[in-house]
Amino acid sequence: MIDFGVARLTDLESGATTYRTETGELVGTLRYMSPEQCRGGGSELDTRTDVYALGVILYELLTGAFPYDVDARSPFDVPRVIREVEPRRPGSIDRALRGDLETIVLKALAKDRQRRYASVGDLARDLRRFLNHEPIDARRDSGWYVVRKTVRRHWMAAAAATAFFVLCAASAISLGVLYRQAESQRAKAAEALVVAEQRGYFNSIALAHAALKEGDTRQLLVHLEACPSHLRRWEWYYLNRLADVSQRTLPGGAGCAFSHDGTQILSYAEDGEVRILDAVTGSVLRAFRCNHRVLRCAALAPDGKVLVTGGDDCTVRFWSTSSGELTAAARGDATRIRSIVFSPDGRAVLTGGFDHGVKLWDPVTGEHVCTIAEDRAAVGATFAPDGRRLACVTEDGALLLWDLASESLVYSTKAHDAPMLLPLFTSDGSRVVTAAWDTRIKLWRADSGDWLQTIECGTHIPLGVALSPDDRRLAVVAQTLRVWDLDSGKEEPMRLGQVGLAGTVAFSPDGRTLATGGSDGTIKLWSARPAEEPPLLHGHLDSVRCVALFPDGRRVASSSRDGTIRIWDASTEQQVGVLEGHGPIDQELALTRDGRLLVSGGLDGRIRLHDVDGLSTRVVIQTGHPTVTGVAISPDGREIASVGSDGVCRFWSAADGHPLAEIDVKAGRLWHVAFSNLGNRFLVCGDDGTLPLLDRDALGEVGRLVGHEDYVVYAAFSPDDRRIASASADRTVRVWDVASGDLLHTLRGHGGVAQSVAFLPDGSRLLSGGYDHVINVWDPADGTLALPLRGHKGGVPWLAVSPDGRWFASASNDATVGVWTSAPPAD
């Protein structure tokens, strides 16, 4: 048994020739050679070599397999396997072999011969100990091993104790697992609830935005109310503000009208409460309690001395506005009094209902003068400006023109196929306006009754109409207030606000203000000029490149290719100052936190330091840049950073403009530079699509954000300096983690180059402007698009947010500055 490889095989097996002795190389069968034999070291061969061969045989007897997987290997690779690869544990083939017997086999097969049994006799003695259930020598040094052997001799008691221990342990483990599973499920459910709530919030915002575009105030408020209060952010307050852009809200009622001199407003409600309000202060000048069952209409005489009211009790009442006393009352023939109109000279009053024509009254005595169109179911009538004619509408949709002098009908024409509102004459008396529940408004020639124009109100039924004093604009109450330009027939930018408008709208005599009455018991005053959303500051003659906001939260500076830098008061939308710029080229701006120093950099390679208070240029710096493409001021206001087309970032003293330091960033042409909020770091935007992040003191690069597929146009730090947002020509906005440099989100929402980004002061929202004329509002936490904003007609290369985060300004290539407000400043 000394040489296992000399004897020839007597029975060939499949593949056996692979493992025969190789003549002239090694003597012995490869399967049973020890690692030292495979190394060819004859001096290492001793009895422990035989122990290894016996270990292989023992392994094969126990498992029916060879310790190594060599069936698919060449004979030249088998020695390497025996030398380097650990044998498979017998217990992995047969679980019954785990334990002592496996230990004996593996000790016999140890690679290091010093760890094998010293002789075949030692191997035999350990096998006998195993058969006698005694501790084997291979584990003599383990106390735990001795205990295991002792337990095996007293196995019944040990089994009972073990079973009890296992039962307790299993119960504890099961309870622990169930608890962890329950906690995990609870956490997942809470997370799913948060995600679902956020999705619901953004869906409600989208529906509210759609209602805004359709002019449906009621649905707009319904969707806004569905938003959980703890999730409401800038976009919610922005839409909520647009739900009511009125200038003032006064106590009143469903009906309203201006006095002829515009100093007073008449308001009335169905409960019979009539008030005369001061148009400036809103204070109540006089209040009347009318005893109509339901008050439907009221009118003030042109001189303001007489008030006439009518309602469902079929009576017309005349009141003195000076004393507040009822001076006369008369009963009409109509079942309801629905309209009251004074003649231009105030000497006659018309009332209309649904039957027996319209009646003419003396407002001084309250006496009935005559009835016009007595055989028609007249809804109401209006005096022509000259007071000589009447335009009357009937329940069956006819428009009648009466001559008062002759008390004769001039013409009758079919105007609408639905209930009609009170007609209106233009100020020159040449045209008549009719409106009906068929959602159409029509203009007619007053002298002939010929049709001139039709305005479609869409799906909303007009409830009230009013003509501006210059006859150029028509205001319509149809759920919300809408205004049309009569010359073009186009609707002006929408204005929203009062839900439940009750059908009254009136222009002030100067045409500057509109008043509407609502069923909510309020009167709202609106600016009658065309409303822009956002309000746009007009004055620049070319593209606006940059904007900067002052710390007072009202003023904004803007630079333009027209060569000027203008300062505006955003609250009044008026220009308040002009500074000398860099000529007809692009120029960037930066403003110190105290708002006293304004820095501009232009493509002329210069930086200008402007004294805002004196509206003058204090210092001009020749930077050495061929062109200055970006400027920034450190948070402490002491340093100015500039970048240019030469790829160099330079630093200057904000006090006198002398140079401090420079660094070659090696990122190609640089487009923008920004300081962190702490001022210890700064970033630049590279032409190579990267964002180098640098240390200001060491002037060394501490990281580089890589991921954009085109040059980076703009970037900004979040308020806590933990994130960076970048805008690129690859049409994406990306959000990065500053500490790790990891890309957190890629925001895709612009149809062109993403040009600008800005965080709100609380970091809850990220704004981005694009060449597609759109400003997007994002949730930077998960990259959700909260709201797209449209209003510019050109790209948006710059955004600046107010210190309180309520509003922001946008620069645009359409030569305007946009002002986007989320809530009124007084809120």
Strands 816-821 and 408-414: unpaired
603 domain residue, yes or no: yes
- Domain shared by 54 and 173, yes or no: no
Distance (Å, rounded) from C-alpha 591 to C-alpha 568?
14
Q: Report the percentage of the chain scoring pLDDT > 90.
A: 55
User: Which segment of 128-142, 286-300, 505-519 scores lowest on mean pLDDT?
Assistant: 128-142
- Domain shared by 647 and 746, yes or no: yes
- Domain shared by 193 and 74, yes or no: no
Tell me what the mean pLDDT of segment 617-643 comes to. 94
Distance (Å, rounded) from C-alpha 434 to C-alpha 311?
23
67 domain residue, yes or no: yes
Q: Give 211-225 as a DSSP string.
A: HHHHT-HHHHHHHHH
Q: In the prediction, which pLDDT does 28 show? A: 61
Query: How is residue 88 annotated by DSSP?
Result: P
Segment 133-169, tens digit of pLDDT: 888 887 644 566 556 656 665 677 777 877 888 888 8
Q: In the prediction, which pLDDT does 498 show? A: 58
Q: In the prediction, which pLDDT does 705 show? A: 96
Q: Does position 97 have pLDDT exceeding 70, yes or no?
A: yes
- Domain shared by 673 and 600, yes or no: yes
Q: In the prediction, which pLDDT does 622 show? A: 94
Q: In the prediction, which pLDDT does 15 show? A: 41
124 domain residue, yes or no: yes
Q: Report the percentage of the chain scoring pLDDT > 70.
A: 91
How many Å separate Cα 498 from the centre of its chain?
Answer: 26
- Domain shared by 126 and 164, yes or no: no
β-sheet bridge partners, residue 483: 475
Segment 674-707, tens digit of pLDDT: 999 999 999 999 899 999 999 998 888 999 999 9
Segment 345-367, tens digit of pLDDT: 999 999 988 667 889 999 999 99
How many Å separate Cα 192 from the centre of its chain?
Answer: 21
763 domain residue, yes or no: yes
Q: In the prediction, which pLDDT does 826 show? A: 44
- Domain shared by 22 and 167, yes or no: no
- Domain shared by 214 and 88, yes or no: no
Tell me what the mean pLDDT of segment 331-339 comes to. 76
Q: How many domains would you assign to the chain?
A: 3
Tokens of 9: 């095989």
Write down which residue in 214, 232, 250 finishes a domain: 232
Q: Does position 8 have pLDDT exceeding 70, yes or no?
A: no
106 domain residue, yes or no: yes
188 domain residue, yes or no: yes
Q: Name the residue type at position 780.
A: P
User: Which segment of 120-129, 348-357, 405-414, 564-573 scores lowest on mean pLDDT?
Assistant: 348-357
Q: Does position 340 have pLDDT exceeding 80, yes or no?
A: yes
Q: In the prediction, which pLDDT does 427 show? A: 94
Confidence of residue 13 (pLDDT cuts 50, 70, 90): very low
Range of the domain at 771: 583-801
Tokens of 784: 């959700």
Q: Is-cis flag, bond preceding 534, omega within 30? A: yes
- Domain shared by 63 and 167, yes or no: no
Q: Does position 446 have pLDDT exceeding 90, yes or no?
A: yes
**Global model pTM greater than 0.85:** no
Q: In the prediction, which pLDDT does 149 show? A: 55
Q: In the prediction, which pLDDT does 136 show? A: 87
Distance (Å, rounded) from C-alpha 551 to C-alpha 596?
10
Q: In the prediction, which pLDDT does 24 show? A: 40
Q: Does position 568 have pLDDT exceeding 90, yes or no?
A: yes
Residues composing the chain: 827
Average pLDDT along the chain: 87
Sign of the torsion formed by the C-alpha atoms of 404, 408, 413 and 418 = positive
Q: In the prediction, which pLDDT does 153 show? A: 58
Distance (Å, rounded) from C-alpha 770 to C-alpha 776?
8
Does residue 137 sit in helix, strand or coil?
helix
Mean pLDDT is highest, among 7-16, 454-463, 751-760, for: 751-760
- Domain shared by 617 and 755, yes or no: yes
Contact in structure between 567 and 608 (CB atoms under 8 Å): no
**CATH code assigned at 69:** 1.10.510.10
Q: In the prediction, which pLDDT does 36 show? A: 85
Distance (Å, rounded) from C-alpha 472 to C-alpha 485?
6
| R_g over Cα of the chain | 46
Q: In the prediction, which pLDDT does 243 show? A: 84
Among candidate residues 754, 764, 743, the one with its CA nearest the CA of residue 799:
754
Write down which residue in 201, 232, 263 finishes a domain: 232
Distance (Å, rounded) from C-alpha 796 to C-alpha 785?
17
**CATH code assigned at 765:** 2.130.10.10
Q: In the prediction, which pLDDT does 252 show? A: 82
β-sheet bridge partners, residue 525: 248, 515
Tokens of 88: 């498979």
Does residue 48 sit in helix, strand or coil?
helix
* Three-state SS sequence of 227-269: CCHHHCCHHHHHHHHHCCCCCEEEECCCEEEECCCCCEEEEEC
Among candidate residues 386, 382, 374, the one with its CA nearest the CA of residue 399:
382
Write down which residue in 104, 136, 153 finishes a domain: 153
- Domain shared by 76 and 216, yes or no: no
Distances (CA, A) of 548 to 63, 544, 656: 83, 12, 22
Confidence of residue 824 (pLDDT cuts 50, 70, 90): low
Confidence of residue 400 (pLDDT cuts 50, 70, 90): very high
- Domain shared by 750 and 783, yes or no: yes
Q: In the prediction, which pLDDT does 569 show? A: 94
Among candidate residues 379, 397, 395, 391, the one with its CA nearest the CA of residue 431:
391
User: Which segment of 386-400, 453-467, 490-504 scores lowest on mean pLDDT?
Assistant: 490-504
Strands 306-311 and 315-320: antiparallel
Tokens of 184: 């995990």
Among candidate residues 10, 105, 31, 107, the one with its CA nearest the CA of residue 61:
105
Contact in structure between 808 and 799 (CB atoms under 8 Å): yes
Long-range residue pairs from 91-96, CB within 8 A, at least 24 positions apart, any chain: 93/63, 93/65, 94/62, 94/63
- Domain shared by 629 and 708, yes or no: yes
61 domain residue, yes or no: yes
86 domain residue, yes or no: yes
Residue 37 buriedness (CB in 10 A; 0-12 / 13-18 / 19+): buried
User: Which segment of 179-183, 436-440, 765-769 scores lowest on mean pLDDT?
Assistant: 179-183
Q: In the prediction, which pLDDT does 278 show? A: 93
Mean pLDDT is highest, among 8-12, 224-228, 460-464, for: 224-228
Tokens of 787: 């709201």
